[in-house]
Chain A
Amino acid sequence: DAGVIQSPRHEVTEMGQEVTLRCKPISGHDYLFWYRQTMMRGLELLIYFNNNVPIDDSGMPEDRFSAKMPNASFSTLKIQPSEPRDSAVYFCASSLRGVGGAAEAFFGQGTRLTVV
């Protein structure tokens, strides 16, 4: 397996524009996480899915942020409209929660978003 694949790797956009980040989890994994990393706030959990169903979106900062997982192999994180303070590295991760297992989370390379 190629691991968790995120696209694009880098995104530069103007304030007010819509941004869509994409993630392909590892095949067979049943958990998918979206994290945001900034210098000020570290690594924040935005939302996570189990079997394509959103379980906890309490970390989503505002209504401008939305995430979907239409099937087991694809998820999107959308920001509309984008603002400069959304600039960060966004990571997607997936894991398989086996019974009694440690459920290692595998991370993608991240999308570096810059909103100007």
Chain B
Amino acid sequence: ETGVTQTPRHLVMGMTNKKSLKCEQHLGHNAMYWYKQSAKKPLELMFVYNFKEQTENNSVPSRFSPECPNSSHLFLHLHTLQPEDSALYLCASSQVPFLDGNTIYFGEGSWLTVV
């Protein structure tokens, strides 16, 4: 069992659909993250949750709606997406406070295609 598990691994959705990406971490961490990786672009940090509270939203459009019901689970709810939102969505977790350079552990990502 990997430390950070993402489902589904692949998702194809229409622009009018509503879908969700799920992330679960088994590492006992208290912070979780959503990153987006578009083709040929660096990873972009989207959201940060510390102790279930959102602490960062990097100007992400409202068609992306995160939810963190507890420290182990993180969701990204998707609705009325655009084709340019097609990307690899990566979930990660870490321990905070970020002492001694604590590391971030990533899941394998969910490949999203918007048609």
Chains A and B form a bound pair: no
